[in-house]
Amino acid sequence: MAYTPELSMKSSSTLRRISWALGIPMTKGIEFVFEYLPKILDREKVCQGCRDKTKCQGCAFNSHNQTQQEKEVRYDTKSKRDTKHHH
């Protein structure tokens, strides 16, 4: 890895607790977090802000790499957000 960001104390504490809950070391816990993020973040927004369009094919945010389960999770999450704004 070319760049290793340092975590704040709060983020490190959060990661530690996630890792404990999963029964895995923090190095695996952070991988879990990064594997989960594309399932819940707005892929279109991430793609629009991306500064490296050469990695799209293998990118976790590429909708072509999305599984059916992820699509359902995104749809459910988006539907819930949309209904909150219409009240």
pLDDT digits (tens, 9 = 90+) for 25-72: 999 999 999 999 999 999 999 999 999 999 999 999 998 776 655 555
Residue 64 domain-assigned (yes or no): yes
Residue 40 domain-assigned (yes or no): yes
Q: Cβ contacts of residue 59 below 8 Å, gap of 6+?
A: 47, 50, 65
What's the total number of domains in the chain? 1
10 Å CB burial of residue 29 (0-12, 13-18, 19+) is: buried
pLDDT band for 12, please (50, 70, 90 cuts). Answer: very high
Residue 2 domain-assigned (yes or no): no
Q: Could you tell me the pTM of the whole model?
A: 0.63
Q: Which residue has the higher pLDDT, 4 or 87?
A: 4
Residue 1 domain-assigned (yes or no): no
Residue 4 domain-assigned (yes or no): no
Distance CA 25, CA 31 (A): 10
Residue 3 domain-assigned (yes or no): no
User: How much is the pLDDT for 40?
Assistant: 94
CA torsion sign for 57, 58, 63, 68 is: positive
Residue 59 domain-assigned (yes or no): yes
Residue 48 domain-assigned (yes or no): yes
22 is in which domain, residue-wise?
9-85
| Nearest of 73, 81, 68, 76 to residue 36 by alpha carbon | 73
